[in-house]
Amino acid sequence: MRILITNIGELTTNVPVGEDPCGTLHDAAVLIEDGRVSWVGPAADAPVAPSISAEPWGSAPAGISSAEIDGGVEVVDAGGRAVIPGFVDSHSHLVFGGDRAAEFEARMQGQKYAAGGIRSTVAATRAASDDELRIRLRGFLDEMLAQGTTAVEIKSGYGLDVKTEERLVRLAAEVTPEVTFLGAHVVPAEYADRGDDYVDLVTGEMLDACAPHAKWIDVFCETGAFSVPQSRRVLEAGIARGLQPRVHASQLGPGEGVRLAVDLGAASVDHGTYLTDEDVAALAGSSTVLTLLPGVEFSTRQPYPDARRLIDAGVTVAIACDTNPGSSFTSSMPFCIAVAVRDMRMTVAEAIHAATAGGAAALRRDDIGRIAPGMRADLVLLKAASRVHLAYRPGVPLVAAVWKDGVRAV
């Protein structure tokens, strides 16, 4: 099956052109063959040349016009609107029971966010059946897809016993190859004051049960969760089992988690709400991505990290939602982009790049996050002539169509 998306007013390829990291093309077309992008260029040069009559985008109907033409090529007229790569959401916790709406309400009245809230979700998750968790999970993925997310990483971390952690990574592996074992999320109540014993469990029996389903090992390296030596033990045990490291760090205060992540060659260190100059310098000289989670600062009323400082220092940044019932219950990458532009001093182009190519870098994937020949055909057609509208029109559903692996999914 071949699909030609043509009459694209603004195409974000993420294949850098000069100073433009988004590799922006105007009046462009994309050809998709067998789930991959096979050609990208000016619409006038498309290898199949349909005679379509372009409508100005403003008068285009809510849907998109699409017609079958000879040679089995489906032609989609983008009507002059913008196309971007599908969002790569490289940090989420989608397998859990219950919610914490009351905790959120109390926080908006002045209560402080604390990692201890995780334990209430652990109780609800242990009590949920596989099918209940699976239905929830698939619901979240549907809402993400409708908002343009075509690749997602999913962590465990609300089981915190061998049986439940194994269930969570197994359920996550049903829907994504990007599965992260986060048995070291917090110390569960039954191990209170015995953190080292819990780390023995995580690095022993729990890792044995979970590693076969996972690609990544993660740890919450923070006061109130796991110390730097404990975090190192967890990550090194995962690495020894063939998992690749990523780290939650500097969410609640400054610490050494970012430098630990860089030291171990982690693909990404996530949060970075409180970064020191040493952290920024370590990141800048490394291949570790700093994944910003704007929904967390928004939902916990913490200060926004300064993305400008990171980008100007040469750090690679990603943006992800961190969808979870405690610190950030949004699944909307457009929302996170809008917040990053508004409050983290990113340009719109930088934020969209971070939410697509940045997420791919954070997952060490070279087949997603860009629109170029050979890449997976994950594309989003916006209901707008420019990607700027994603930040300019916060809260407005701007996704007109989504192709995932070359198949129209929305």
Binding site for ligand NIG (CB under 6 A): 115, 117-118, 121, 220, 248, 251, 296, 322, 324-327
Gap between the Cα atoms of 87 and 378, Å rounded: 8
Report the residue number, 256 or 322, with the smaller CB distance to Fe ion. 322
Amino acid at 216: W
Report the partner that residue 117 touches, choosing among ligand NIG, Fe ion, none (CB closer than 5 to 8 A by kind): ligand NIG
* Interface with Fe ion (CB under 5 A), residue from 10, 322, 350, 378: 322
Q: At 244, is the secondary structure helix, strand, or coil?
A: strand
Amino acid at 78: A
Q: Which of 45, 8, 68, 3 is nearest to 381 (CA)?
A: 8
The answer to whether residue 218 forms part of the interface with Fe ion (CB under 5 A) is no
CB of 300 to ligand NIG, least distance (A): 8
Q: Is 14 annotated as ligand-binding?
A: no
CB of 317 to ligand NIG, least distance (A): 17
Which residue number has the CB closest to ligand NIG? 326
How far, in Å, are 40, 41, 149, 371, 386 from residue 25 at the CA level? 9, 8, 22, 11, 11
CB of 315 to ligand NIG, least distance (A): 19
How far, in Å, are 27, 47, 57, 75, 383 from residue 80 at the CA level? 7, 19, 5, 14, 10
Gap between the Cα atoms of 322 and 320, Å rounded: 6
Binding segment toward Fe ion, per CB under 5 A, in 26-34, 283-291, 319-327, 357-365: 319-327
Which residues on neighbouring strands pair with residue 87, listed in sequence order?
149
Report the residue number, 39 or 329, with the smaller CB distance to Fe ion. 329
Report the residue number, 7 or 250, with the smaller CB distance to Fe ion. 250
Gap between the Cα atoms of 180 and 216, Å rounded: 4
Gap between the Cα atoms of 232 and 320, Å rounded: 24
Indicate the annotated binding residues. Answer: 91, 93, 100, 158, 185, 248, 251, 322, 324, 326-327
Residue numbering of the annotated binding site for 4-imidazolone-5-propanoate:
100, 158, 185, 251, 327
Give the footprint of Fe ion on this chain (CB under 5 A). Answer: 322
